[in-house]
Chains A and B, each alone.
Chain A
Amino acid sequence: MFARGLKRKCADSEDSPPAPPACSLQRQSLLDMSLVKLQLCHMLAEPNLCRSVLIANTVRQLQEEMSQDSAWQVPAPASAGRGPLERLVSTEILCRTPWEQQGGHSAADSGGSPAPDLLSEPPGAPSAQAPRGAPGCAWEAASPRESRGGFQRSLDQIFETLDSKAPRAAEGLFADVDGPYYDLDAVLTGMVGAKSVPGDGFETLAPTGAPPPGVSYKRDLGELDHVVEILVET
């Protein structure tokens, strides 16, 4: 009825690390799948909070294991991570973040440079239009208060919607656009010139630079806004 399931953990756990590549690949695909699941929610009705929490916990666990394993891996050149742009941004950013960690221990919020800011929005944006990124990119939106590992922070954004004071969050999110990630930002969201556009949320996020990879981005922006908003009550 369905294809045989992927093995969900390393077959040879007795072997010492480095983890076999197959394991990390399967972990990667699981992570991709999880992130897609978190984004694709029913737009008309509120998404199931239990399901979202379970997926988010799984994602955290995956990320922790990957960051553990990354200590054994040679960092791949940055360009290798670009790959097909349909792949979720988060995966390559995720792969990058652990390499920059000072420690390499499992705590998800240790070290790591702030993830890219991928949205521009004026600080005065109403809370209903709290800043979001392109699908996958939202996970990387920087928290204003801490400079934690990008992924963990962005994951928490999902749950933080309600409680965050939007204007402050908005300011913080766009405060630190770091150089290395800027190109990625531009490519993915196609908003090179859109940083200072005032006004109302997502309509202004039409790609002005390089077109986004696929029409889905624009729709996903709106979707993601909805998702994150309704995931936690306003």
Chain B
Amino acid sequence: MLLSLPALHLQTSEYHPLLQLPHGRLGPWCSPTGSPAPLSCETGCGEGSWILVCRLLVPTQVSLLSMEEDIDTRKINNSFLRDHSYATEADIISTVEFNHTGELLATGDKGGRVVIFQREQESKNQVHRRGEYNVYSTFQSHEPEFDYLKSLEIEEKINKIRWLPQQNAAYFLLSTNDKTVKLWKVSERDKRPEGYNLKDEEGRLRDPATITTLRVPVLRPMDLMVEATPRRVFANAHTYHINSISVNSDYETYMSADDLRINLWNFEITNQSFNIVDIKPANMEELTEVITAAEFHPHHCNTFVYSSSKGTIRLCDMRASALCDRHTKFFEEPEDPSNRSFFSEIISSISDVKFSHSGRYIMTRDYLTVKVWDLNMENRPIETYQVHDYLRSKLCSLYENDCIFDKFECVWNGSDSVIMTGSYNNFFRMFDRNTKRDVTLEASRENSKPRAILKPRKVCVGGKRRKDEISVDSLDFSKKILHTAWHPSENIIAVAATNNLYIFQDKVN
């Protein structure tokens, strides 16, 4: 039992307690979804070696070409894109997410586009190709909008993508920009009806006088076509910028969080949502804290957490009240007085919060560290990992160039034994919670050949720089890895570096 809430004897109801809608499934509305599949390969990040599987670029031209089956993605990347730099601001990847089986990998970019990659199936002929991801579908999810009332542009940048668990042949995902969440259905079509009576093969109407016989239309196979259709649009519920969406474990609801409010939606209802958290002060003069991220518990559909710009995490139980302004648990680490500076608050701001797959822990990312918290201990994290502590003495410069406001994400591996997050200079870091070892790797074109083993990197802080080390002052702060994803059951990771998507795999796999 995760939380021992006193005296809350809820009847298992046919109706959702908040939304009063009949449940899609009968039975208790909070049934656990089961544990994740065991890792196929259980090497820690230190022992394993990571190799580059493929590097994918997602400018428009590539995605169109890649729709054909026989185009080799690598070929495209090498010839097409090395010579022509199609990277524009719109191609910067802004979110990366594997689906629940790891078969699909979705990316969203600043141009409002979603590109879905599919894992190459195992085949006898090309065993080594397994693990590569090819473009499966591309669609424009959000368009730029203009808010006429406020004379402001609404950016089309995709802030987050979240997959729904697969329940039929089609795939469903949520994608959101600053203001609007959309539910997309991605489905395959490999048959089409032929032999209509009233229309000819091109779809033109036939002159009835020419019809002498009747036939029954039949479904004939056709080239595989993947189509994405928007099934729901959840709009006009957020005044501030949406920073998180999270699908609930009941698969019927999800939440969207902006800077000051969190709303609960039912997938079937687009014209209303429930406000479950509101931290907007009555007097905006008193605003000192905003919501930075939010997520539902992976198994308990009544529980969610949200993080703040002051470095705190609140866990809320929706059964306690309709408006969860009073938290059930409050996680905060007391400040270290020796490290106090003008930037203490800024660097304590949490940029990402993620539940472990087990649901026992939460991980938070602030500017310099990653922390793991046990849900049963609120006064301090159980583990703290330094991501790039060498930046602590550079905070003033990082404040000046705004890098101090960069929002890094963090991810768990499938077994919750390794955590990963990004850094600058296209570095990303992995921490093995069991062995306490960590590694720094780099995602860059120059340093990775396909199938070559990634060399661990090291940043040197002191005076003497060893041969392979890079000094702090040489770091490129424009190359930041904010978004990464880890396959739910295997050691395959996706790392977004500006407009490049790198997929790495553990060699032992």
Contact = CB atoms under 8 A, between A and B. Distances in A.
A155 B240 CA distance: 20
A232 B149 CA distance: 14
B259 A50 contact: yes
B241 interface: yes
A160 B283 contact: yes
Given A51-B405, A53-B290, A232-B284, A1 B349 contact: no
A92 interface: no
A53 B287 contact: yes
Interface in A174-195: none
B475 A61 contact: no
Interface in A1-48: 1-9, 27, 30, 33, 37, 44-46, 48
A8 B474 contact: no
B332 interface: no
Interface stretch (B46-54, B186-194, B339-347): B339-347
A202 to B, nearest CB: 13
A53 B342 contact: no
A58 to B, nearest CB: 6
Contacts of A27: 342
A46 B473 contact: no
Interface SS of B by simple majority: loop
A234 B150 contact: yes
Contacts of A9: 340-342
Interface string B382-424: 0000000000011111111110010000000000000000000
B390 to A, nearest CB: 12
B336 to A, nearest CB: 14
B155 interface: yes
Contacts of B72: none
B475 A49 contact: no
Contact of B240 (A6, A49, A157, A163): A49
Contact of A1 (B155, B286, B476): B476
Nearest to A152: B285
B342 A1 contact: no
Number of contact residues on A: which range applies? Answer: 35 or more
B1 interface: no
A161 interface: yes
B288 A44 contact: no
B349 A46 contact: no
A46 B476 contact: no
A48 B399 CA distance: 15
Interface-centre pick from B282, B396, B474, B476 (highest chain A CB count, 10 A): B396
A54 B405 contact: yes
A233 B393 contact: no
A57 B288 CA distance: 7
Given A30-B342, A49-B290, A159-B287, 8 more contacts: A1-B473, A3-B397, A46-B150, A49-B241, A50-B292, A54-B346, A156-B285, A156-B286
Interface of A: 1-9, 27, 30, 33, 37, 44-46, 48-51, 53-54, 56-58, 61-62, 156-157, 159-163, 226, 229-230, 232-234
Interface of B: 149-155, 178, 239-241, 243, 259-260, 282-290, 292, 309, 340-343, 345-346, 349, 393-402, 405, 473-477
17 contacts: A1-B474, A2-B477, A5-B398, A6-B397, A8-B395, A30-B396, A46-B152, A49-B241, A50-B309, A53-B290, A54-B309, A54-B405, A57-B345, A58-B345, A61-B345, A160-B283, A163-B283
